[in-house]
Amino acid sequence: MTTETIDRIISGDVRSAARLMRGIEEDTPDALKTLETLYRHTGRAYIVGITGAPGGGKSTLVDALIGAFRRREMKVGVVAIDPTSPLTGGAILGDRVRMQQHCTDPAVFIRSVATRGWLGGLARAAVGMMHVMDAMGKDVVLVETVGIGQQEVDVTRLAHTSLYVLTPGSGDSIQMMKAGILEMADIFVINKADQEGAYRVKMELEAMMAMQGEHPEAHEQRQPPVLLTEAVYGKGVDDLCQEILKHRDYLLSYGLMQKREHERVRLELAEALEAALKALIDSRTDHELYESLVDDLVQRRIGPQSAASQLIGRLSRT
Amino acid sequence: MRAEKKLRVLVAKPGLDGHDRGVKVIARGFRDAGHEVIYTGVHQTPEQIVSTAIQEDVDLVGLSCLSGAHLFLFSEVLRQLREQGADDITVIGGGIIPDEDVLRLKDAGIREVFLPGTSLDEILKWTEENVCPASSGQEPAR
């Protein structure tokens, strides 16, 4: 990869960007080096995370949001994450099915990515892809997570604004009380609001948030709005888009954007560090010892903690 | 059959044909072999298929058509891929396709055509032998 590649990507070239994303997924040294250089050209895109249970309409909502942002003449990037099969390593990436009406719009770039075993609803490559779209000059990057439900806090910390999508009948207030969801979302979206019970969910949510009171860390003292949408018909989506931009203004006007950016970057660093350490450990692990420890574990001769200590002890000696 | 190298594959249905059972079976077959499959749903225009193939940086495009419009639609996908400088992407086809059209499609640049009755293993084996993952990190050919 050359400075030519960098220039091409910055001028919005889709082929070069798409190929770089491939390299990021495969962890090729060349691609990672290019990404490193490209990083200096990022930091302008506004990142919106979309999370929530499977089947809640996240992809359809993203599709409608692309339209809403385009009507505001903003350029849009989408990173759509789907799960990798733990058995075969294969994946069916189907989020695009709902977004195909936008795929020939040159101001829109949609990329599907498989989790490849990464937890937290994200794919490790997703962060790099966000950077590439940012460098391409996208004004807003929408990141749609896998939709496992309650363990998707990561994306909310990687986004400037995070949406949590739920549907009428997707669980009672006890679900909402569980840690993570209420504290992390900036905007709640009740999609499929034509179904029975939408207003009840809205009321329950608002009641729960009112009860939460003034948590010192929770949300900079702003109560997240709860919006009703019918994404298939585009209903309520313009309001949602407006609400996202309002949240951006809010972050900017209260000087919170910098704080958020710090948190975001801190998490990116943590993830990069974790990945690098994991790679280091993998490359230095004594595989014979590893396998014999697995046998010991199966035979219950030792526990996992001491097995791990033994491996780490060996590492620090090499 | 388990693939040795992970490919990115786009399976797509161009045109007005809405019969997607076959293409879903193919998608699952590729997934179970360990590939990453992008599925775009039915009623795709050649423009949509080509821009998806480029945005997703796929190695292989599988087109399915059961309506009889394969000659025009498949050739149009190939033409637009060439126009975009993306004709390094392998394109295969399948569906209800008369024998005499198979040759015409191959002449047009469809690398292989799989007809009804073909087993998944046959398709996966052909893919294994004929398609390589794009050397990621390298600039795409222009």
Q: What is the mean pLDDT of residues A35-60?
A: 92
Closest CA to A193 of A56, A309, A303, A32: A56
Was domain A42-256 assigned CATH 3.40.50.10440?
A: no
Classified as helix, coil or strand, B83 is helix
pLDDT digits (tens, 9 = 90+) for A100-151: 999 999 999 999 999 887 665 566 788 899 999 999 999 999 999 887 554 5
Question: Do B10 and B49 form a contact (C-beta atoms < 8 A)?
Answer: yes
CA distance A40 to A45: 13
Torsion of CA A278, A279, A281, A285, to 10 degrees: 130
Put simply, the answer to whether B138 touches A29 (Cβ < 8 Å) is no
* Residues in chain B within 8 Å Cβ distance of A89: 6, 34
pLDDT digits (tens, 9 = 90+) for B91-120: 999 999 999 999 999 999 999 999 999 999
Interface ipTM above 0.90: no
CA distance A157 to B37: 28
* Residues in chain A within 8 Å Cβ distance of B136: 19, 22-23, 25-26, 28, 31
A74 touches chain B (CB under 8 A): no
Closest CA to B93 of B21, B22, B6: B22
Put simply, the answer to whether A103 touches B138 (Cβ < 8 Å) is no
Q: Which of A4, A30, A103 is opposite residue B48, by nearest beta carbon? A: A103
A3 touches chain B (CB under 8 A): no
| Distance (Å) from the alpha carbon of B63 to chain A's nearest alpha carbon | 15
Question: Do A135 and B81 form a contact (C-beta atoms < 8 A)?
Answer: no
pLDDT digits (tens, 9 = 90+) for B34-45: 999 999 989 999
Report CA-CA distances (Å) from A317 to A275, B5, B111: 21, 35, 54
Q: Which of B31, B56, B140 is opposite residue A91, by nearest beta carbon? A: B31
Which residue's structure tokens are 């990945």? A275
Domain boundaries defined on chain A: 1-40, 42-256, 271-316
Does A221 or B56 have the greater pLDDT score?
B56
What the block records as the tokens of A195 is 């179904």
A21 touches chain B (CB under 8 A): yes
Q: What is the model's pTM?
A: 0.89
Q: Which of B34, B137, B142 is opposite residue A88, by nearest beta carbon? A: B34
The pLDDT value given to residue B37: 97
The pLDDT value given to residue B137: 45
Classified as helix, coil or strand, B38 is strand
pLDDT digits (tens, 9 = 90+) for A62-106: 999 999 999 999 999 999 998 888 888 899 898 898 999 999 999
